[in-house]
Amino acid sequence: MGGVAAPPSLCAVTCAGARRAGEAGRAARALRGDGPGVAGGRPAVASALPRRVGPLSAAPAAAMAGEDCVRKRPSGSTTTYKSPENEEMQRRPDGDRSFQNSSNGRVDVDHVITRKMQLIAEAEQLKPVFMKEVDSHFTEFVNSLVAKSALLDSSSSASLFPASCSEKELHKAKALRAPPEHGKIFTARRSLLDELFEVSHIRTIYHMFIALLIVFILSTLLVDFIDEGRLVLGFDLLVYVFGKFPVVFCTWLCMFCATVIIPYSLFSQWAQGYCSSSHRVIYSLFYGTLFTLFQTVGLGIGPTYVAISYALPPASRFIVILEQVRLVMKAHSFVRENVPRVLSSVKEKSSSVPIPRISQYLYFLFAPTLIYRDNYPRNPMVRWGYVATKFAQVLGSLFYAYYIFVRLCIPQFRNSSQETFNLRGLVLCIFNSILPGVLILFLVFFAFLHCWLNAFAEMMRFADRMFYKDWWNSTSYANYYRTWNVVVHDWLYYYAYRDFLWFFGKKFKAAAMLSVFTVSAAVHEYVLSICFGFFYPVLFCLFMCFGMLFNFILNDRRKGPIWNVIMWTSLFLGQGVIICLYSQEWYARQYCPAENPAFLDYLKPRSWSCHVQM
């Protein structure tokens, strides 16, 4: 009409496609050799062809559908419809046309395979972009959801959260000081490694570490067999470092029973008498002083005195001192979380005093968290197979550490006192210690933060398993400190950082951060000093100097991959420094003991002056 071709009808387009499929089917039958006059079976290559090119198997049916469609066209129609398929066929060269122009059909099969490979390549190019977009939107959604949930929990009104909440309101919600019972939100979630190990690629990395352990074992057995002429299966180093275990168990039992009885009794008596007391300030100061004395003398000085006076080996001292620090932090959290509830009930003139049950406090002492709550999200059942697996992995990590020290550390540092202390030897020592230092770092993370905490969480049916985050992806030290050990970070954030700001004001955020770094560095150095038996503030200096410096330089604004490389490089060097200097000092004090040592002899590094002629 008017010289303008009418648009092709649906039937015309369908028929054109069907005709192409029919022609393809006839070419495929000709290729297979099972035309109209052929009977019997097909050759093997013919039976394989339809599997490689899927559309050919449906070609005869499509051809029949195309012939039916042609027969159904109106007889009086004189308009010629040019479908896109026909136009494309007209434009294509003779060598690239469909099966009817091919002599043997081989070109078309190769064309289909080539096109398929092109589509796969395009899909692979689009997949990273798609996954990045999905991950970005999902992360924003989860962060927004958590922020809204925190605002709902911390608000005293019953009004609903607006659906269109702005970013400014979300930021304000995060900055609000929530009541103690709403400080940290516990929710049921799995540990990150448990989720990652379901991916075969990540599980292969785990298998590689197991293979490395097997190599260490074989190396040790072969060297001992060559030197001794027999297999040496003794584990003298493990027996030594975990020696005097009865003393360790009795010390832990006394610490634990005292933590169960004394803080709970002091808090209960204070809470019951606070409402009726006429001198509440003096009354509170009295009980607060008693609790501080228990924390300082009972849990502070007592276990330290036992560890030193009984000359416990290093690993046994680690057990006692780490349990000491854990129980101190748990007792503080219990009192810190419940005292404001009692003060609030007295202010509201409530008839009942909110005192937790002893069973709730006892559960908290075993639960893998340092933040007290009356109730936690719980799993419905205990998977004892999972518990056994985690404890087996802890045991395997201990043997892994044993072979690392036997093969990589002891041979290097055993004779270090024969050489004078110089810069060249120090640099070589640091770089040779990077590999064992990094392996020990991974083992501490995997054995304690993943396996040990997950085993106790499973036994306690504790559902919140976020003991760490993806610290390995950190591009800043600020993020690394937040994600490496979430359990300790939560305690420092709520009871050191936020309480400091609440007491001194929000204008002193830098001072609050400095105080948190100082407390953390001092506790870490205290643990190492007691466990090794000497004071050598390497870790304290790394924390306070390089840790603070990198915390401001490598801050959260650093997002590129190069910053992750810088973070890992500095972490490797730091582990090398720690392993090198502490190992040198350990052997120097073994080979160069001080006669009648004074107090300053425990503070002066012995490795700087020890030189033994062997």
Question: How many angstroms from the chain centroid is the CA of residue 111?
Answer: 47
The answer to whether the beta carbons of residues 140 and 114 sit under 8 Å apart is: no
Q: What is the 3-state secondary structure (H, E, C) of 78-128?
A: CCCCCCHHHHHHHHCCHHHCCHHHCCCCHHHHHHHHHHHHHHHHHHHHHHH
User: Tokens 């190019």 — which residue?
Assistant: 125
Phi, psi of 254 (to 5 degrees): -65, -45
What is the DSSP secondary structure assignment for residue 8, as one 8-state letter?
P
Q: Are 573 and 430 in contact (CB under 8 A)?
A: yes
- Residue 524 is among the residues annotated as catalytic for this protein: yes
Helices (H) and strands (E) in the chain, counts: 28, 0
Distance (Å, whole) CA 101 – CA 30: 13
Contacts of 505 (CB under 8 A, 6+ apart): none
Distances (CA, A) of 274 to 157, 277, 286, 568, 599: 28, 5, 12, 52, 46
What percent of the residues of the chain are helix, what percent strand, and what percent coil, each to the nearest 5? 70, 0, 25
Q: Which among 330, 332, 308 is positioned nearest to 321, based on CA atoms? A: 308
Distances, alpha carbon 106 to alpha carbons 15, 110, 115, 225, 237, in Å: 26, 6, 14, 64, 70
Distance CA(10)–CA(75), nearest Å, equals 17
Residues 20 and 80: beta-carbon distance below 8 Å: no
- Chain centre to alpha carbon of residue 507: 33
> Could you tell me which of 93, 51, 66 has the C-alpha nearest to residue 11?
66
Q: At CA 166, angle to CA 161 and CA 170, rounded to 5? A: 70
Which structure tokens are listed for 38? 């052929």
Choice among 111, 182, 332, 524 that is catalytic: 524
**Quick one: how far is CA 148 from the chain centroid?**
24
What is the Cα–Cα distance from 182 to 153, expressed in whole angstroms? 6
Burial class (CB in 10 A: 0-12, 13-18, 19+), 75: exposed
Sequence-distant (≥ 6) Cβ neighbours of residue 573 within 8 angstroms: 430, 434
Residue 203 tokens read as: 């599980």
User: How far is it, in rounded angstroms, from Cα 414 to Cα 587?
Assistant: 7
**Amino acid letter for position 437:** G
Rounded alpha-carbon distances, angstroms, from residue 267 to 286, 291, 356: 12, 9, 10
- Determine the Cα angle at 29 with ends 25 and 30, to 5°: 115
**How many Å apart are CA 255 and CA 239, to the nearest integer?**
24
Residue type, 488: V
Could you identify the residue written with the tokens 């036994």?
A: 459
Known catalytic residues are 524
